[in-house]
Amino acid sequence: MSRSIAGDNPVSKLSLLAITWPIFVESALQMFLRTSDTFMLSKVSDGAVAAVGVANQIIMFAVLMFNFVALGSAVVISQYLGARRQHEIGRLAGSSLALNFLFGLVVSVIVMMLSGPLLRIFDLDPSLFGQAEKYLLIAGGALVIQALLTAVTAMIQSHGLTRQTMVVTIGMNVLNIFGNYLFIYGPGGFPKLGVVGVAISTAFAQCVGLAVNLVLLRKAAGVYIRWNDLFVWSREHIGKVLRVGVPSSAVSLSYSANQFVTTAFISSLGASVLATKIYTQNIMFFVMILAVSLGRGGQIIVGQLVGAGQREEAYKQVIRNLIRSELITLAAVAVLTLFRQPLMKLFTTDPDIIAMGAALLLLSFLLEPGRNFNVILERSLQAAGDARSAMIVSITVTWLFSVPLTYLLGIYWGYGLYGIWAAFIADEWLRGILLWVRWRSKAWQRKALVQLRSEEQAL
């Protein structure tokens, strides 16, 4: 059984900002969990950093694949809460966790068995290959823990308990940094394990985070999972999770592939241009996480409203979310662009890179509101059960419009990084406009995954 976060009306007390800010902090900390490994290893050797950096490329791609169950179960649970069908959430959560465990186990085994061939793709020096392989064997083995952690975190957040998962992530970061310190510097005779120690530290922090989140899922969210729920799956529940999760993950994988292709285009323009792109995006990473967090917060609210049968309220809520999130995004962009040159100088002293990066940061006034517009609507459609439409729009626009336009403007017509940034802006706004048309059509109102019982509708 599960209890709602707001008594009899699970959507009455939800606030976009109250839900979003912990998600924002947590998302930043999740990225920092891996970044701290790199930073602390940089004090030892550049080779260790390179080895871990390459191995983490494989790990992060695998983590991205786990999201299909996490995203799907989060949306379905939100709708079940709105429909006041909390008694079914335990069985749904059990099925979802078991599914992600099996998927994570398969991925872990594949990464461990193919660690050598996977790393050879990156053409590492022999001196780095051994370190990267050792790291990947341990981090790859821990992917099953990451799969469960991803799913449990999404389930807790679906109940609006975003501050609790944020605190857990803070604790994981503290544990990871402390473990890195022990294994890298070896105080008091502690064994110096270097790259291997960093992998062990990260895996241990994830195990502790998973254990705490499982307690939160039961005690704070009130989701009770029986042993039988882990082995006897509901075909209806799994079908609903996959109906949302698979299309949603396809969007993420398509975006990652698009970034890979775009980076290849930019690399052909020279090292300084690639460095400018990396520095600029690192500065704007704050705003990018903000857009994703606002989208996730809105998704929780919309999912519960749709499940509660309040479809008109969900429609209006998304419009309010768009207005608020656009204002927040513009304010964040304004702050960063005000200090654009000092921020660029944190990364480089090259005047050409600083000038180009500062100009690209100014273009964020066009790019980031478009990204926010797109993300809010995409997440809202997913929350309403219309993930397939969001997937079709995203993949079609990306590969039939955005990638060709990026090549034409940036490479073929010779506008370089400015042309590529113009293609980014066009991509975000076109996808956003098409998703807006879909939202305005209200066709998504027929895609709800859960319905209120007739006796509750009559109340």
165-223 tens-digit pLDDT: 999 999 998 998 899 889 888 887 888 888 888 889 989 999 999 999 999 999 998 88
Query: What's the pLDDT score for residue 451?
Result: 66
- Does some domain include residue 336? yes
Angle (CA) 297-319-305 rounded to 5° is 55
CB 2 within 8 A of CB 90: yes
313 and 174, same structural domain?
no
317 and 399, same structural domain?
yes
271 and 390, same structural domain?
yes
For residue 220, give Cα distances in angstroms to 5, 161, 276, 299: 9, 8, 45, 20
164 and 102, same structural domain?
yes
Mean pLDDT over each residue of the chain, to the nearest integer: 85
d(CA 422, CA 420): 5
- Does some domain include residue 9? no
pLDDT band at 34; cut points 50, 70, 90: low
CB 65 within 8 A of CB 146: no
d(CA 43, CA 56): 18
179 and 152, same structural domain?
yes
CB atoms within 10 A of CB 233: 16
d(CA 381, CA 229): 29
- Is the pLDDT assigned to residue 48 strictly greater than 80? no
Length of the chain: 459
347-350 long-range contacts (CB < 8 A, ≥24 apart) are 347/275, 347/279, 347/282, 348/275, 348/279, 350/272, 350/275
d(CA 12, CA 195): 48
- Does some domain include residue 61? yes
291 and 208, same structural domain?
no
- Does some domain include residue 457? no
Q: Among all chains, which residue has been given the structure tokens 């940061």?
A: 361
**Number of folded domains that form the chain:** 2
The shares of helix, strand and coil residues in the chain, as percent rounded to the nearest 5, are 85, 0, 15
d(CA 193, CA 48): 11
Choose among 91, 428, 63, 443: nearest CA to 249.
63
C-alpha atoms less than 13 angstroms from C-alpha of 37 in its C-beta half-sphere: 28
The domain of 301 spans 245-446
- Is the pLDDT assigned to residue 454 strictly greater than 60? no
How does DSSP classify residue 113?
H
Q: Among all chains, which residue has been given the structure tokens 């510097």?
A: 185
296 and 217, same structural domain?
no
Final residue in a domain of this structure, among 207, 233, 259: 233
Give 273-302 pLDDT, tens digit per residue.
888 887 888 788 888 888 888 888 888 889
pLDDT band at 1; cut points 50, 70, 90: very low
Choose among 2, 137, 183, 154: nearest CA to 68.
154
Query: What's the pLDDT score for residue 42?
Result: 62
Helix (H) or strand (E) holding 186: none
Final residue in a domain of this structure, among 233, 257, 275: 233
For residue 300, give Cα distances in angstroms to 214, 305, 326, 382: 20, 9, 18, 10
- 161: its two tokens: 């308990």
pTM of the shown model: 0.82
437 and 377, same structural domain?
yes
d(CA 203, CA 210): 11
- Does some domain include residue 362? yes
Final residue in a domain of this structure, among 233, 256, 282: 233
CB atoms within 10 A of CB 22: 20
Give 6-31 pLDDT, tens digit per residue.
344 444 456 777 888 888 888 877 76
- Is the pLDDT assigned to residue 154 strictly greater than 70? yes
188 and 60, same structural domain?
yes
3-state DSSP assignment of residue 72 = helix
For residue 436, give Cα distances in angstroms to 327, 375, 385: 18, 11, 16
C-alpha atoms less than 13 angstroms from C-alpha of 407 in its C-beta half-sphere: 9
- 60: its two tokens: 């992060």
User: Residue 67: which residues within 8 A CB-CB, separation 6 or more?
Assistant: 150, 245, 248, 249, 252
Between 267 and 365, the higher pLDDT residue: 365
295 backbone dihedrals φ, ψ, rounded to 5°: -65, -45
- Does some domain include residue 101? yes
123 and 206, same structural domain?
yes
342 and 205, same structural domain?
no
Query: What's the pLDDT score for residue 33?
Result: 63
222 backbone dihedrals φ, ψ, rounded to 5°: 75, 25
- Does some domain include residue 358? yes
- Segment 386-415 shows an average pLDDT of 94
- Does some domain include residue 10? no
276 and 130, same structural domain?
no
- Is the pLDDT assigned to residue 116 strictly greater than 70? yes
- Is the pLDDT assigned to residue 377 strictly greater than 90? yes
CA dihedral sign, ordered 76, 78, 80, 85: positive
